[in-house]
Chain A
Amino acid sequence: DTAVSQTPKYLVTQMGNDKSIKCEQNLGHDTMYWYKQDSKKFLKIMFSYNNKELIINETVPNRFSPKSPDKAHLNLHINSLELGDSAVYFCASSQVGGEEFFGPGTRLTVL
């Protein structure tokens, strides 16, 4: 009965590769998010998306792109992976203005 789920939980890959992380929520929420948590535990918003608007944090490289096939899914595609992309990526969802529910996270390691 998971509210927000992500796959995979762990992702180990080589520099230069392209990878995707999937996220699904079954809460009926309008908005989904991607966050990056670095080794110092800082949580930074990367994207927020509802069926009307994608808001991109301007500091996010354009190698990162969110794709939403429907309201319950927001996947994250990363092209040309770099060492600095290693982090834990969290998906989250909320109703507009409401509590954000986080997924379990995906630990990405770029070698």
Chain B
Amino acid sequence: GENVEQHPSTLSVQEGDSAVIKCTYSDSASNYFPWYKQELGKRPQLIIDIRSNVGEKKDQRIAVTLNKTAKHFSLHITETQPEDSAVYFCAARYGGSQGNLIFGKGTKLSVKP
């Protein structure tokens, strides 16, 4: 069935360290993989996304990698800052380009100053 597994559920790092969050998906037809950041009491906001024809994408301190064979994708945040503290969600689009996003259960990232 439609499923996205996300690990870890909580992650605590020191300011300046890197953080990595990993997700796996089950539908080989999935072709779109966004990552959302949700600060406390706020809406989820897209921070980066990747499509299945690309293996890696980078935007300043944030990068996402995709391994289609293994059906997993990861979010990498370098030089973490306290304002990176939030819940991060991965998602995969199931059922083709018109399908719905299925979200992972989220990772609570805490960056300690």
A residues adjacent to B (C-beta < 8 A):
31, 33, 40-45, 48, 55, 57, 90, 96-97, 99-105
B residues adjacent to A (C-beta < 8 A):
32, 34, 36, 38, 42-46, 49, 87, 89, 93, 97-98, 100-103, 105-106
| B43 close to A90 (CB less than 8 A) | yes
Within the complex, the shortest CB–CB distance from A22 to chain B, in Å, comes to: 16
Please, how many angstroms separate the alpha-carbon atoms of A102 and B103 in the complex? Answer: 14
| A45 close to B101 (CB less than 8 A) | yes
Closest 9 CB pairs of A and B: A97-B97, A102-B43, A43-B103, A45-B100, A41-B106, A102-B44, A99-B46, A48-B100, A104-B43
| A41 close to B87 (CB less than 8 A) | yes
The verdict on A97 contacting B101 (CB below 8 Å), with A41-B87, A90-B44, A104-B43 known, is no
Chain A contacts for B100, CB-based, 8 A: 33, 45, 48, 55, 57
Listed residue (B32, B98, B105) with the most chain A CB atoms within 10 angstroms of its CB: B98
Query: Which chain B residue shows the least CB distance to A47?
Result: B100
Chain B contacts for A99, CB-based, 8 A: 34, 46, 49
The verdict on A96 contacting B98 (CB below 8 Å), with A41-B87, A44-B103 known, is yes
Chain B contacts for A57, CB-based, 8 A: 100
| A103 close to B106 (CB less than 8 A) | no
Please, how many angstroms separate the alpha-carbon atoms of A44 and B42 in the complex? Answer: 16
Query: Which chain B residue shows the least CB distance to A6?
Result: B43
